[in-house]
Structure 1
């Protein structure tokens, strides 16, 4: 069976080292290591669940099966969010062009309004901030997630992710989350973000 997740650590290392402004290679190395652990753990859990027996209905609470399912949800969510985060770093910043810019202007009024909303959303989060496309309405939304398994709502396709947990910034920025966020926003690879849009 094909794996639903692969370790992209080396690809991200080659893309990002020396190209992320105030985010140091030391931070990136540590952060990529955390991501690799999440990928490895997700693969181990999938394998264990595929080989294991399901518990009987009166044995589900507190079962190893339940614990593995919870851990799998966390590991997959964290790994996929990290992949999105790493994919949008290391760009030239500036403003997006084409369809992405048109949709941002349509749904937020202007690119500046979008950035203000994204920045405020990220600063309000203790974990993640995402720009997502609601596939039902076609509208772009900035969403936040706190806690280990909080993810964007069903039917939302994440286009951009910003990691707001301490490990993403504390070595380089101390507790200055705003300075870290400004560094991220100044280096967004808008071409990578646009590639997550559906074909129109």
Structure 2
């Protein structure tokens, strides 16, 4: 785990860094105090028509940005003031008194993870060890997609659907709000945002259609494979 000072000094090398818990760092700059929202690794219209530029502008420019602003307001003069974003997520997840801090730190982290998995130039379907693991644990990519659509649909209210690797097998997990497997020591490989702000402008109440379209059209499976190898 890098200290806050080391992270701030090393933002230019963030793509080669490693997240706590063994996750590959995203190619966008890693968030660390003073918490600054990383830039998108593509233009806001790059995910269209699966996710429209209007949705990206709202989702990234308003919702994601708001988590960083709130976190900057909440952490000064607390025990979290000298922690990195990742440390705050893990340290606050079980504290009911610090629920606001966790919610905003969790969502800040979740969205860095989310935006990075869509960057262009990678594989449009899994290969190698990742494909073998998907075949073994789900019976193939189509079966994984079907199961992940169901996981996303089963999340009550706002939350996330995650593909997780525990070191020996893959599984799917749905989490509410800003929670994640990462917050609890797990290793997510892929996360689909099923908060309404992630899809409602494009899909209205058709959440399963959103999850399926994301999996079919814009996931960069090279990123997912790198996360499994990390």
TM-score (structure 1 length as normaliser):
0.78
Q: Is the 8 A contact 2:110 2:178 kept in 1?
A: no
Matches of 1:75 and 1:171 in 2, distance apart? Answer: 23
1:69-80 equivalences in 2 (<5 Å): 69-80=98-109
Q: Is residue 21 from structure 1 mapped to residue 49 from structure 2 by the alignment?
A: yes
Q: Is the 8 A contact 1:128 1:165 kept in 2?
A: yes
Question: RMSD over aligned Cα, in angstroms?
Answer: 2.7
Aligned to 1:174: 204
Instruction: Name the CA shift for 1:49/1:68 in 2 (closer, same or farther; >3 Å).
Output: farther
Deviation by residue 1:160-188 (Cα, 9 ceiling, x = unmatched): 11011111111112112222222211211
Matches of 2:111 and 2:222 in 1, distance apart? Answer: 18
Aligned to 1:158: 188
Aligned residues: 182
Matches of 2:111 and 2:181 in 1, distance apart? Answer: 14
Deviation by residue 1:116-168 (Cα, 9 ceiling, x = unmatched): 11111111123110111124xx221110012x353327331111110111111
Instruction: Name the CA shift for 1:68/1:16 in 2 (closer, same or farther; >3 Å).
Output: farther
SS of aligned partner of 1:183 = helix
- Alpha-carbon offset, residue 45 of structure 1: 2.5
Q: 1:96 aligns with which of 126, 135, 140?
A: 126
Matches of 1:189 and 1:15 in 2, distance apart? Answer: 16
Aligned to 2:26: none
Q: Is the 8 A contact 1:130 1:143 kept in 2?
A: yes
- Alpha-carbon offset, residue 51 of structure 1: 8.8
Instruction: Name the CA shift for 1:51/1:116 in 2 (closer, same or farther; >3 Å).
Output: closer
Instruction: Name the CA shift for 1:18/1:155 in 2 (closer, same or farther; >3 Å).
Output: closer
Task: Please tell me whether Structure 1 or Structure 2 has the larger radius of gyration of its CA atoms.
Answer: 1
Q: Is the 8 A contact 2:114 2:192 kept in 1?
A: yes
Unaligned runs of 5+ in 1: 53-65
Q: Is the 8 A contact 1:134 1:157 kept in 2?
A: yes
Q: 1:121 aligns with which of 151, 154, 164?
A: 151
Q: Is residue 111 from structure 1 mapped to residue 141 from structure 2 by the alignment?
A: yes
Q: Is the 8 A contact 2:38 2:112 kept in 1?
A: no
Q: Is residue 197 from structure 1 mapped to residue 225 from structure 2 by the alignment?
A: no
Q: Is the 8 A contact 1:45 1:68 kept in 2?
A: no
TM-score (structure 2 length as normaliser):
0.69
SS of aligned partner of 2:227 = coil
- Alpha-carbon offset, residue 42 of structure 1: 2.2
Matches of 1:157 and 1:117 in 2, distance apart? Answer: 19
Aligned to 1:130: 162
